[in-house]
Each structure stands twice: as C-alpha cells, then as structure tokens.
Structure 1
Amino acid sequence: MRLFLLPISARRSLLYCEKLHEKAASERTLLDKVTIKANQTWAAWEKDEKAPWNWKKKITIYGNHALKRIPYEEWGLKTIPALTARRKKAIVEGREKYHVVFPGLYLHRDKVPEILKKLALERQAMHRSKMIWSIVGMPLSAPFMLIPIIPNLPFFYLVFRAYSHWKALTGSKHLEFLLRHNLPTLNPSAELDEVYTAGLMYPTRAISRAAPRPTRQQAQEVARVVEQQTNDGTEDVMVLQRWNGKLIAEQFKLPDMEVEIERAVEQVENAIKGKEELMEEKMELERATAKPGQTAKDALPKEILKSEKEKEKEIHKKAEDIAEENNNRGQNEGVEKK
C-alpha cells in the first residue's frame, strides 16, 4: 500500500492513501452500500433541474461549499482504510508492505516520520469528540422530519459528519499502528520532484504539459530557491500549485487524488493569505497608535525594553560561544589529523 505525503507549503503536508482496488459487489458491507448510494444520490441532485424551486441543485451548491471547509487533514486521514484484525496480523507478521512516497527535494527525509506522527496523533481526540457530539445531535434534529417534501437535512448532515470523523479516526489509528511497528518504508520520488518543479517553473498546466520535463539540476536549483524563501524555516511559502494536482494524479494514475490536492492547496493558500493580512493589520494598528517616529515597541516601559535587550545580548553571546567552540573543535581536529 502506498501513502503519498505531499507538501502543500513549507509547513503543511497532505497525506493520501492509494486505493488498492474496488470491492466486488458481493464483498461490500452495509456501510459500503449506504455510502455508494449516498454518493450516487448527491451526484444526481447536482444535475437535477426539475425539482420545485430547483431545491436539489441549490442544496448541493451550499453543501459542496460546506464540504470545502472541512480540513484537508481530515479528508486525507479518511483515505486510509480501517485497521481490521486480519490487516493488523499481516502488519505484525511483516506480510503487509507500506511505502511513503514523497518529493525528496521539497520535503527532507528526516522530517517525514515527525509529520506522519503528528498527522496520526494530533487530531484523534478532536475526531472522537466531534463524532460523539454529532451522534448526540441526531435525535435532536428529528423534528425537522415534519417538514414536507424537503428531507431532514440537519439529520443527514450530522450523520455525514459522524461518519466522516469516524473514518478519520480509524485512519489515524491505522497510521499510528504502522508507526509503532516502524513502518512504513520511506521512498523519495524523483517523479514527484519533477512535477513539483514544473509547477513552480511554469505558470499554467498547459505550458507545463508542453514544456520539456525539468532536469535534476533544475529541480535542485528550484528547491534551493524555495528553501531560501522560507528564511531557515521561519516563513511559510507555497510549494504546490492548485492546477498541478491534476498532473500529479495523472503521473500516478490516481484520479481521486486531484480533488484532495486542489482542496488542500486552496485551504493552505487561504490560511497563509489570512496570516499575511493579519500581520498587515497589526502593522497598520502599530503605525496608527504610535507617536510620530516611534513604533509600538519604542512605547514600551524602559524596564521591559531593558529586559528584552539583555535577553537579546544573552542569545547573541550564546551563539558566539557556540560558534567559537565549533571553530576551536575544527582546528583541534585538523591539528590531530596532521
């Protein structure tokens, strides 16, 4: 089984699990059948323009807008299948193989286990809590069944959210079990490096398709520029374009991946943009409240400023001491070699 870890920005990554195969009709559980039926009904409503006041299509429009607001981390965890007893036994016995595929130039190998652990553990309590509250809310939405013609939308929404949180929770537990048994194998992908580089080199998908594939040297140079833009990890910058999701999905013949990437890119772009706007508002507020020629920091009491300056001096002193110690160690090692 392949798990794709795709960096969306320098600090945020999407996890996507490849579907091995579709279950045969005879192998489908009741939950599988209900899920398939719900998806088919939703798709039919999106195209239905004959309903009174066009209510079916309007519901899908608002519904799709609400789905876009579900965090991409939740969608990613939902792609990981539940950990069955048979699969757990296969993992313990070493018969089940898992591989994490990621762009090695845009995501350092030593960071991958930490990111996977964070994705596995960070949201478990939240998914469990929200799943319970969704289940509790279902009976409370029962009175809406009295409304004629229109189905009980609040009830079905709560059902969907409970199912979604359950799927994300089971996916996170599956990933946690893998990490506990020192799985999966890390596989940096040169193909992903090429697609990521093309997305950063070219402005559109059409130009990227027509242009030659980036060379390894070009990919390394673009990755170096991205690393510089992060200012040693202090800034978050985008490394994946929304239109590039289709190219990645085509590269690995995983059409469902395209939607997940586009959703994740949109959410991360909005998050970074929101942070930048917040910083700009903060700077404007500082300029408006400060005296002429003075920033908000200058207006702080002298005692606080003195304390802050002493802290800065202490930090610089420690940095100089460490640098001097490393320099002396290097000189001593050179003398010993001679």
Structure 2
Amino acid sequence: MRIFLLPISTRQTLIYCERVPYTPKPGQKRPLAEWAVDKAATTWAGFEKADKGWRKQLTYYGNQLFKRIPYQEWGLKSFPPATKAQLEEVDKGTVAFECLYPGSFMKGRSATELLKTLATERQAFHRRSMWTSMAMLPITIPFALVPIIPNIPFFWFAFRTYSHYRALYGGRLLEHITNKGMVQAKDSRVMDELYAAGLLKPSRQAVREATKPGDTDIEKVVKQAEEQAKEGKKEVVLLQGWNGKLIADAFHLSEMEVEIERAVEQVENAIKKTDEQARTAKEVERATEQKTEALKDETKQ
C-alpha cells in the first residue's frame, strides 16, 4: 500500500493513501458501510448530471461545501479505518506500507516523524466533531416531513458523522503502523522532478513538453523556496494546483488529482488571508502612529 507525503507549502503537507478496492473473501458479505458509500456516490453522480432543478442546485452547493472541508480530513479518510479486523490483518504482515515523498523539498524534516504528527494531531478534533454531528441527527429527523425534497440536513450530518469517523480511524491506522515501524519511507526522484518542473514552468502543457529537471534545476528551485521563506519569514507554496494531475498520472492514481487541487486551493486561500490580515494590521499600526505623532505636535503647540 502506497502512502504519499505531498508538501503543499513550506509549512503544510498533504498525506494521501492509495485506495485499495474492497474485495470480499469467498462467502463473505460486503460491509453495509461500503455499500452505503458506493450508493451515495452513485446517487450524487446522478444528481450532478441533471440539467436543472433542485438536484442540480443541491449538487452545486454541496460541492462548494465539500471544498470547505479541510484537506487534512480528506487525506486521513483515504486510509482504511482502524477496525479490529483491519488491525489484525495489518499485524499479520500481509500488507506492505511504502511512503513516497520528494526528499529535496522536505530537507530537515523526517518523513517518519511527520507521519506520526499527521496521524495524531487531529484525532481529538475528529472525535469531538463526530459525536457532535451524530447528536444533530435526531434533531434533523423532522425535516423529512417536507414533501418532495429529501431530508438534506439529516443526510449532511450523517455524512459529516461518517467523514469524521473515517478521518479519526484512518489516523489511528496510520498511528498504528508508524508506531510499529511498518512504513518504509522512500525519497522519490519522480516527485522531486515533478515538484521542480511545476515551479519552473508556467503550465501543465509546458511541463509535458519540457525535458525533466536535472539535479542543478532541482537544487536551484529548492534554494529559491528556502530563501523566500527565510527572507519573508512566511509560508511559500511548493506545489501548483495544475500540477496535481501530472503527479497523479505519474503514479497512476487519478483520484489523487482532486485531493491535491483541493489542498493547494485551501492553502493558497489561507496564505492570502494571512497576508491580508498582516497588511491590515500594518495599516492600522501606521495610522495609529500618525495619529499619535499628530497629537504630540498639537500638544507642543
């Protein structure tokens, strides 16, 4: 099973686990949760195909809400949940865990330590949010009395309950395998090249048409990012949103593309917001200083 550490910026990293299709053993029934998730995905896809009406509106606003769910949650949800059966299967040693990461863009950071941090830092949040969402389910049941339109609030909180559950227990599985030293971390040359190409070239097509970056190119890009981070003492974006497809294609994981694009968009928006707040604070500080100076001049007169 492949795990990917994808630095989005100099401070934030996306984790993603290759999804393994569920294959039941002979005579074993498919878990109800697996069936429900597939059924919901199929229904949602059908709603998205609607030309107009409440189904189209629902999927539009629903997808906007999905974009606001933190990328960290989506990343942890990509791991199988740490159920008793899953942990027993893992402990048998039948599953190998390989963690790929761009070593040149993670200098000074241990992949193993980062995995442990990502596995545990949000567990308390997801546990609390899971129970909060579950507590909202009985409250939303009366909305089922509204004719024609489905009980959207109920389904939303049911989704959030399940989502937090998957993130919580996905994190616990990651914690389990890292604590037992089951993850083999590997510096990926392919990822180094794709990261560097994404920062050197202006578009996806330009990267495809150009030759692969060499060691000198990679070192140059890494050095520039490090200098920007030191000089400005701020977060520097390392991964372009449009580069997600190239990385996903390189590892034959089409579903990873949307995870990267979502994470990059959230990190970029967060950086912009922080920069705007910093500019506003400086403007307020400057205005306060000018007012203070003006008062001093009036006092002297």
1:183 Cα deviation from its structure 2 partner: 3.0
The 1:233/1:3 distance shift into structure 2, 3 A limit, reads farther
- Structure 2 CA distance for aligned equivalents of residues 112 and 144 of structure 1: 47
Equivalent residue, structure 1, for 2:244: 245
CA distance in 1, matches of 2:35, 2:125: 27
Partner Cα distance (1:290, 1:109) in 2: 40
Q: Which residue of 1 aligns with 2:298?
A: none
1:273 matches 2:272: yes
Code of the aligned partner of 1:2: R
Matched residue type, 2:61: Y
Q: Does 1:40 align with 2:39?
A: no
1:195 paired to 2:194: yes
Shift, 1:233, TM fit: 9.3
Structure 1: how far apart are the matches of 2:169 and 2:89?
A: 17
Matches for 1:103-142 after TM superposition, within 5 Å:
103-108=102-107, 110-142=109-141
Moved more, 24-33 or 150-159: 24-33
Alpha carbons 1:92, 1:181 under 8 Å: kept: no
Between stretches 138-147 and 67-76, larger displacement belongs to 138-147
Shift in Å, 1:68: 0.3
Q: Is the aligned partner of 1:101 residue 2:100?
A: yes
Q: Which amino acid aligns with 2:98?
A: H
Partners of 1:247 and 1:122 in 2: CA distance: 29
The equivalent residue for 2:13 is: 13
Q: SS state of the match for residue 243, structure 1?
A: helix
The AA in structure 1 aligned to 2:9 is: S
Letter in 1 for 2:201: Y
Q: Please show how residues 56-67 of structure 1 align to structure 2 within 5 Å.
A: 56-67=55-66
For residues 203-245 of structure 1, the C-alpha deviation after alignment (integer angstroms, 9 at most, x for no partner) is: 0111111111111221122111111111089321000000000
Contact kept in structure 1, 2:120 and 2:171, CA below 8 Å: yes
Q: Secondary structure at the match of 2:95?
A: coil
Structure 1 residue 22: deviation in Å? Answer: 4.5
Residue type of the alignment partner of 2:64: H
Which residue does 1:23 correspond to in 2? 23
* 1:136-187 per-position Cα deviation (integer Å, ceiling 9, x unaligned): 1111011111111000000000000000000001101001111211231110
| Alignment map for 1:258-337 (pairs within 5 Å) | 258-291=257-290
Q: Deviations over 1:48-67 (max 9, x none)?
A: 126xxx11100100000000
Counterpart secondary structure, 2:9: coil
Could you say what secondary structure the match of 2:241 adopts?
coil
Q: TM-score, normalised by structure 1?
A: 0.82
- Residue identity over aligned pairs, in percent, reads 45
SS at match of 1:15: strand
Q: Are residues 90 and 34 of structure 1, via their aligned partners in 2, closer, same or farther at CA, if it must alter by over 3 Å?
A: closer
3-state SS of 1:11 partner: coil
Kindly indicate whether the alpha-carbon contact (under 8 Å) linking 1:87 and 1:96 is maintained by their aligned counterparts in 2: no
Which secondary structure does the structure 1 equivalent of 2:230 belong to? coil
Residues 93, 59 of structure 1: alpha-carbon distance in 2 compared, 3 angstrom cutoff: closer
Structure 2: gaps spanning 5 or more residues: 294-301
CA distance in 2, matches of 1:27, 1:198: 46
Are the structure 2 counterparts of residues 27 and 7 from structure 1 closer, same or farther at C-alpha, using a change threshold of 3 Å?
A: farther
Q: What residue ranges of structure 1 are gaps of 5+ in the alignment?
A: 295-338
Match of 1:213 in 2: 212
**Aligned-pair distance for 1:293?**
9.5
Q: Which residue in 2 is equivalent to 1:230?
A: 229
3-state SS of the aligned residue for 2:290?
A: coil
Shift of 1:87: 4.1
Alignment partners' CA distance in 2, 1:27 and 1:236: 48
Q: Which amino acid aligns with 1:111?
A: S
C-alpha deviation, 1:109, in angstroms:
6.3
Q: CA RMSD in A?
A: 2.0
Which letter does structure 2 place at the counterpart of 1:134?
S
> 1:31: Cα distance to partner?
1.0
Q: What is the match of residue 313 of structure 1?
A: none
Q: Which amino acid aligns with 1:15?
A: I
Greater CA deviation, 280-289 or 22-31? 22-31
- SS of equivalent residue, structure 1 residue 105: helix
Distance 1:272 1:75, change over 3 A: same
Q: Is the 8 A contact 1:245 1:261 kept in 2?
A: yes
CA–CA distance in structure 2, aligned partners of residues 84 and 180 of structure 1: 17
Cα distance change, pair 143–107 in 1 and its aligned pair in 2 (3 A): same
Q: How much does 1:251 deviate?
A: 0.3
Give the superposition deviation at 1:85: 3.6
CA contact under 8 A between 2:83 and 2:169: conserved in structure 1?
no
Map of 1:2 onto structure 2: 2
CA distance in 2, matches of 1:59, 1:21: 28
